[in-house]
Amino acid sequence: MNVTFSADDIAFRAEVRDYFENEFPADILEKQRNSIPLQREDMIRWHKHIYEKGWGAPNWPTEYGGTGWNSVQKYIFADEQARASAPPYLPFGVSMVGPIIYTYGNEEQKQRFLPDILEFNTWWCQGYSEPGAGSDLASLKTRADLDGDHYVVNGTKTWTTLGQFADWIFCLVRTNSDVARRQEGISFLLIDMKQAGVSIKPIILLDGEHEVNEVHFDNVRVPVENLVGEEGKGWTYGKVLLQHERTGIAGVAGSKYRLQRLRANAGKSIKGAAPLAGDRNFMRKVAAAEVELKALEYTELRTLASVASGKAPGPESSILKIAGTELRQNIDALDVEAAAYYALPYVRAQYATDFPEDEYVGAHAETNSSLVYFNDRKVSIFGGSNEIQKNIIAKHVLGL
């Protein structure tokens, strides 16, 4: 595969690198590099900043405000974004519901929702999984019953990432139960999170962060004009959305620079100890991860080229999702191994305030690697578990 960059590509890389080094909010980069969680205001601010640069929607067509970048430019941008430790785009608006609206929505919906998504005036979240419907999403129970010019929505969505910040949620809901296949009778609905009947229950993860939620709908009235596309076709739209999501979950660019940092840190001597780079067994595992990453990178480039030609990501998005998430978890384990006892999480509030801080294991040197390790256990599950992705590959690639 020819990955030689043209003079224009090299100039574009220089432009992107200069933006992240000299224009992007420095305090946000500093937080990212030191594993300090971004606040809601931080995330809104950097999205608006990159929108003002004209780079708010790399994957959108230019007619809706997209960048018009080709597949190589998208690859270069993602690579430089990871290199700078800049935060990735929040996917729910610009990468997920936006493409569904401009592909299947009517003109009124495009004019109503797309500008605010592009400028990040509205924060979106995803309403797919339910307490009894995760990977088996077709068994969802949340209902939307037609009542005049409104749908009345009842049910619960779970694992709703950053739903506590969201203004709107896009949901798969059941509008018809009298169907031959469970995948039929599901519709794609846009719901205002601020209206009566919507409530949120936080789910605190193992790393102590409030990242996900349960969202409950109790007789929530949603105007019929918030239905995207045709009633009963939500499963089709949802599959397209998930293909885009799975491609992003692979995290190829981020893994590339994490491995580079890991290799660099392995070459350092700490307190006179021999560098970890001298441990052949450890470096063999690092090299194996780098080989796997290179193969994954070429697959991502082929997928980007396919999308650039007007196609939606196909089963290759499932391949990316499986290989990418397993690689991310592998790198997590290598980070913990390299950190050794410095991987022990240090949370000052857990200890008496009069206890000398320097006596804590890992004080001033904690790596955060164990918290990332625990949190990333989920990446092989969300977006459709890796077991489900193997079934998709078997059906669409192998014909089984």
At residue 120's C-alpha, the angle toward residues 379 and 310, to 5°, is 65
Lowest mean pLDDT among 21-35, 61-75, 291-305: 291-305
Q: What share of the chain is helix, strand, coil (3-state, %, to 5)?
A: 50, 15, 35
Same fold, 7-102 and 250-396: no
In angstroms, the CA 347 to CA 383 distance is: 31
As a whole number, mean pLDDT of residues 38-47 equals 95
Q: Which CATH superfamily is domain 250-396 in?
A: Butyryl-CoA Dehydrogenase, subunit A, domain 3 (1.20.140.10)
Give the model confidence (pLDDT) of 281-311 as tens digits.
999 999 999 999 998 888 877 776 666 666 6
Residue 362: pLDDT over 70: no
Rounded to two decimals, the pTM is: 0.84
Average pLDDT over residues 376-389: 83
Q: Where are the domains of the chain?
A: 7-102, 123-232, 250-396
Give CA angle at 58 (303, 260), nearest 5°: 65
Burial of 52 (0-12, 13-18, 19+ CB in 10 A): exposed
Which 8-state DSSP code applies to residue 263?
A: H
d(CA 317, CA 313): 6
Residue 75 has pLDDT above 90, yes or no: no
What CATH code is assigned to 123-232?
2.40.110.10
Contacts 24+ apart (CB under 8 A), 52-59: 53/19, 53/23, 56/94, 56/118, 56/119, 56/120, 57/94, 57/98, 57/118, 58/89, 59/94, 59/95, 59/99, 59/244, 59/307
Look up tokens 């605190």; give the residue. Answer: 204
Taking alpha carbons only, the member of 334, 226, 358 closest to residue 282 is: 334
Q: Which two tokens stand for residue 374?
A: 């625990």
Question: Count of CB atoms within 10 A of residue 320's CB?
Answer: 25
Q: What is the structure's pLDDT at 357?
A: 46
Q: Which residue has the higher pLDDT, 21 or 241?
A: 21
Summary mean pLDDT of the chain: 87
Q: How far apart are CA 298 and CA 310, in angstroms?
A: 19
Statement: residue 161 has pLDDT above 70: yes
Indicate if the alpha-carbon torsion angle 271, 273, 278, 280 is positive or negative: negative
**Tokens linked to 66:** 């997209």
Point out the least confidently predicted range of 89-103, 144-158, 220-234, 297-311. Answer: 297-311
Residue where the block lists tokens 């929530």: 220
Dmax over CA atoms of the chain, in Å, equals 75
Tokens of 125: 């979240």
Q: How much is the pLDDT for 138?
A: 86
- The pLDDT assigned to 274 comes to 86
What integer pLDDT is reported at residue 287 of this predicted model? 96
- Phi and psi torsions of 201, nearest 5°: -115, 120
Helices (H), ranges, the chain:
7-22, 26-33, 40-53, 71-83, 91, 98-104, 107-119, 234-249, 252-266, 280-308, 316-339, 369-375, 386-396
Instruction: Read off the pLDDT of each residue in 256-277 and give the average, rounded to a whole number.
Output: 86
Query: Which structure tokens are listed for 351?
Result: 């200890």
Domain 7-102 has CATH 1.10.540.10: yes
pLDDT tens digits for range 309-340: 666 556 777 888 888 999 999 999 999 999 88
Q: How far apart are CA 155 and CA 312, in angstroms?
A: 30
Q: What is the pLDDT of residue 304?
A: 67
Band (pLDDT 50/70/90 cuts) for residue 351 is: very low
Tokens 């009566």 belong to 196
Least confident among 25-39, 76-90, 128-142, 261-275:
261-275
How confident is the model at residue 5, as a pLDDT?
81
DSSP state of 388: H
Average pLDDT estimate for 105-109: 97
Report the share of the chain in percent with pLDDT over 70.
88
Res. 396 pLDDT band, cuts 50 70 90? confident
266, burial (CB in 10 Å: exposed 0-12, middle 13-18, buried 19+): middle
Torsion angle (degrees, nearest 10) of CA 70, 75, 76, 79? 160
| Cα gap 158→129, rounded to integer Å | 6
- Read off the pLDDT band of 134 (50, 70, 90): confident
- pLDDT score recorded for residue 345: 67
pLDDT digits (tens, 9 = 90+) for 45-63: 999 999 999 999 998 999 9
| pLDDT-derived band at 346, boundaries 50, 70, 90 | low
